[in-house]
Amino acid sequence: MSRKILGLDIQSDTIAAVLLRTTLKSRHIEAYASVRLTDQDKIEDSLASVLEILAETTDLSGAACIAAYPANAVSYRNIRVPFREPKKIRQILPFELEPELPLPVDTQLIDFQPVRFPGMPSNQSETDLIVVAVETIAIESYLDLMARYKLDPDIISISSLATALCVNKRGNNQGENWILADIGRSRCTVLVIAQGQVCYVRSFLVNTQDGSLTERLANDIRQTVFALEEIFHYEYNLDFVILTGNGSGILNDTSEKLETTLDKLLKVSVYHLNMADEAHIGVKDSPNRSWSSEQMDNALSLALLEAEGIKTVNLRQGALAAKKIWAENKTELLKIGFVSGLVLMLFLVNFLVEFYAMQAQDTKLDKQINAIYQQTFPDAEAVEDPQRQMWLKMEEMKKNSFFPEDTRENVRTIDIFKEISGVISQKTDIKLTRLVIGPDGVSINGNTNDFNAVDDIKNRLEGSQFFKKVTISSANTDKSGQRVRFKLKMQLTHQ
């Protein structure tokens, strides 16, 4: 599944944007743009230019957006609180910060980044925090600006912090002590990473046209390290420094490269960051622009935060928090819910109608079975399950329709048929209509031409070795007066 993420980095001197496309198997930068911001009053025009450049090569619709607020416009504080749960920390932060902030705390948006060094006791209740605060009205203006271009970022982070978190996530630098220096044309933001944790942030003014900048930058980094050690009571041994930002690119074009000079001054390794190479992300070729890591690293890092699910501070808090799916699509969801409820109701009505129809049919069939049972066995008492009772009686009748076991071995039905046919004279005018063989004997129904023929048949059957007693049950003239109907019962010799 393909996904588009727009990382939008708005700083005091530059606006940069990167559109990252991710799939299950790969990630690549589909479009990118950077515009220098010379006048804060023209920030809207600069943002429009950036988005227009992106739109020339790709479709921005449907892209998730994560934006950054200028690092130098945010207040940073390091504090320690006696809680570990984020919910409790948020509740007490305004009271902890109120004495330290220059403006009323209720006019500020506040978030925090926890600092938990490896090896800390798991039962330690205290938590060190980097707390960030910015005026609510500033974020409102920031969101209004992006809303004019139909951008609604779920997260507003800080560009330099996003870059440090992404570099740290790569795994190569975790557990080490290093510094990220994000150098702009007028300001520099330094982030200190100790044992794989971003634990201190400082922003200060710079002048990239000043030849002594490198030495002053080294001094500022040393001062930042001293401040960190004072706050955490921790001896910090710096391993290396990573450089990024527009200003680092300008200074690197001088006769002596910036990293070489800083290396000598700080006596540690210094190198420029290339986030695309660091994260192994391909860059789509652009005919009019070339990829500049110094300009695009922060914007790419913002997109990576979203793609990799890296937690960071979010300045969209309180009433300015991103709308949830329910709030954004309330009308549509209500419509879908209404239609779904209506379909469900119709389904239930149809189910109940079919259920009661089948129940009525079942009751009707039960009545018919009871009626058949009563007709078949008029002397039987009423039962709850006439179908099963009828089945039992039928099985009983089947068993009784044969001779007992001892008789069945000697007398066969075919033998009785043969005997009756052989005993009755062929000259006798007789027509048999029924023959019943049961445990009580044999009975035959039929008709003949007169009563004398009935007596003759009886006498002949009594003379048979199969029957020891023959009784005339009935003998009557039929309606025509031409024939005599009779019924004979014969007791078997073996009974």
pLDDT digits (tens, 9 = 90+) for 81-115: 988 888 899 889 888 888 888 788 889 999 999 98
293 and 388 inside one domain: no
Conformation bin of residue 261: beta by default, left when phi > 0, alpha when psi is -120 to 50 = alpha
Mean pLDDT of 421-437: 85
Instruction: Encode burial over 199-224: b for 16+ CB neighbours within 10 A, e otherwise.
Output: bbbbbeebebeeeebbeebbebbeeb
- In a domain, residue 144? The reply is yes
Q: Could you tell me the CA-to-CA distances from 345 to 127, 332, 355 in Å, in that order?
A: 53, 20, 15
Residue reference for tokens 């409820």: 341
Any bridge partners for residue 486, and if so which? 446, 475
Q: What is the pLDDT of residues 356-399, one digit of tens each?
A: 999 888 888 888 888 887 777 777 676 667 777 777 777 776 66
383 and 425 inside one domain: no
- Starting at the earlier edge strand, list the strands of the sheet with 430-438: 430-438, 441-448, 484-492, 467-477
185 and 309 inside one domain: yes
Q: What pLDDT does 321 receive?
A: 81
Alpha-carbon gap, residue 343 to 337, rounded angstroms? 10
Residue 252 has pLDDT above 60, yes or no: no
Among 270, 299, 322, identify where a domain stops. Answer: 322
Residues with Cβ within 8 Å of residue 177, at least 6 apart in sequence: 193, 194, 195, 236, 237, 238, 239
Q: What pLDDT does 180 receive?
A: 94
Q: What DSSP state is assigned to residue 319?
A: G
Among 283, 300, 322, identify where a domain stops. Answer: 322
CA 364, distance to chain mean position in Å, is 48
Q: What DSSP state is assigned to residue 286?
A: -
Q: Could you tell me the CA-to-CA distances from 356 to 54, 207, 209, 328, 353 in Å, in that order?
A: 64, 87, 90, 44, 5
123 and 10 inside one domain: yes
Q: What pLDDT does 195 receive?
A: 85
Q: What is the pLDDT of residues 3-62, one digit of tens each?
A: 899 999 988 888 999 999 998 888 999 999 998 887 766 788 888 888 888 888 888 888
176 and 305 inside one domain: yes
137 phi, psi to nearest 5 deg: -65, -30
Q: What is the pLDDT of residues 269-318, one digit of tens each?
A: 998 999 999 888 988 776 667 888 889 999 999 999 999 889 899 998 87
Mean pLDDT of 139-164: 90
368 and 457 inside one domain: no
278 and 362 inside one domain: no
Domain span including residue 448: 405-492
CA 343, distance to chain mean position in Å, is 23
- In a domain, residue 400? The reply is no
Alpha-carbon gap, residue 314 to 399, rounded angstroms? 88
- Classified as helix, coil or strand, 467 is strand
Residue reference for tokens 């080294």: 218
263 and 373 inside one domain: no
299 and 425 inside one domain: no
Token pair recorded at residue 181: 């220096």
Alpha-carbon gap, residue 203 to 205, rounded angstroms? 7
Residue 253 has pLDDT above 60, yes or no: no
Residue 407 has pLDDT above 90, yes or no: no
- In a domain, residue 398? The reply is no
Alpha-carbon gap, residue 332 to 97, rounded angstroms? 42
Picking from 10, 11, 20, 1, the residue whose alpha carbon sits closest to that of residue 304 is 20
52 compared with 209, residue with greater pLDDT: 52
Among 299, 322, 345, identify where a domain stops. Answer: 322
Alpha-carbon gap, residue 462 to 470, rounded angstroms? 6
Q: What pLDDT does 287 receive?
A: 64
Q: Which sign, positive or negative, has the C-alpha torsion 394, 397, 401, 405?
A: positive
Picking from 114, 140, 14, the residue whose alpha carbon sits closest to that of residue 72 is 14
- In a domain, residue 452? The reply is yes
Residue 150 has pLDDT above 80, yes or no: yes
Between strands 155-158 and 64-69, the pairing is parallel
- Classified as helix, coil or strand, 25 is coil
Q: What pLDDT does 411 receive?
A: 65
Asked if residues 453 and 442 have their Cβ atoms less than 8 Å apart, the reply is: no
- In a domain, residue 329? The reply is no
| Residues listed for the chain | 495
Residue 429 has pLDDT above 50, yes or no: yes
Count: domains in the chain: 3
Residue 439 has pLDDT above 80, yes or no: no
377 and 434 inside one domain: no
User: 10 Å Cβ neighbour count for 297?
Assistant: 32
Q: What pLDDT does 330 receive?
A: 64
479 and 427 inside one domain: yes
Mean pLDDT of the chain: 84
Q: What pLDDT does 406 receive?
A: 45
Mean pLDDT of 59-69: 90
Residue 451, domain CATH: 3.30.1360.100
Asked if residues 72 and 158 have their Cβ atoms less than 8 Å apart, the reply is: no
Alpha-carbon gap, residue 466 to 491, rounded angstroms? 8
233 and 281 inside one domain: yes
